[in-house]
Amino acid sequence: MNANRYGGGGRWFKGNTHIHSTASDGGKTFAELEAMYAGRGYDFLFRTDHWIASDVRADPRVARKLLWMDGVELDGQDSCGSMYHVVCLGRFRGLSRKMGFENGLKAARRQGGLLILAHPLWMGNTPEDVWRWKFDGVEVYNYVCQWLNGKGDNLAYWHFGLSRQPGMLAFAADDAHITANHPGWNGAWIMVNARVRTPKAILDAIRRGRYYSSCGPVFHDIAVHGDTVAIRTSPVRFARLVGPDANGCQCGSFHGKLMTEATFSRPADWRYAYVEIEDSRGRRAWTNTL
Ligand SMILES: [Zn+2]
Ligand SMILES: [Zn+2]
Average pLDDT along the chain: 95
Q: Which residues pair with 229 in a beta bridge?
A: 224, 264
Question: Are residues 122 and 142 in contact, defined by beta-carbon separation less than 8 angstroms?
Answer: yes
Q: How far apart are CA 199 and CA 69, in angstroms?
A: 6
- Whole-model pTM: value is 0.96
The pLDDT confidence band at residue 253, using thresholds 50, 70 and 90, is confident
CATH number of 216-290: 2.60.40
Does the pLDDT value for residue 161 go beyond 70? yes
CA 284 to CA 136: how far, in whole Å? 22
Summarised one tens digit per residue, pLDDT across range 83-125 is 999 999 999 999 999 999 999 999 999 999 999 999 999 999 9
Residue 276 alpha carbon to ligand 1 centre in Å = 25
How remote is the CA of residue 228 from the centroid of ligand 2, in Å? 37
| pLDDT band for position 1 (cuts 50, 70, 90) | very low
CA distance 182 to 179: 5
Residues of the chain with CATH 2.60.40: 216-290
Residues of the chain with CATH 3.20.20.140: 11-211
Tell me: pLDDT of 264 over 80: yes
- Measured between alpha carbons, how far is 163 from 252 in angstroms, rounded to an integer? 27
Spatial separation of the C-alpha atoms in residues 99 and 82, rounded to whole Å: 17
pLDDT(9) > 60: yes
What is the CA(261)–ligand 1 centre distance, in A?
A: 36
In the structure, ligand 2 is a single-atom ion and the residues with CB under 5 Å from it are 73, 175
pLDDT single digits (tens) 28-82: 999 999 999 999 999 999 999 999 999 999 987 766 799 999 999 999 999 999 9
Cα(74) to centroid(ligand 1), Å? 8
Residues contacting residue 60 through CB under 8 Å, at least 6 positions apart: none
Residues listed for the chain: 290
CATH superfamily of 11-211: Metal-dependent hydrolases (3.20.20.140)
User: Which ligand has its closest atom nearest to the C-alpha of 20?
Assistant: 2
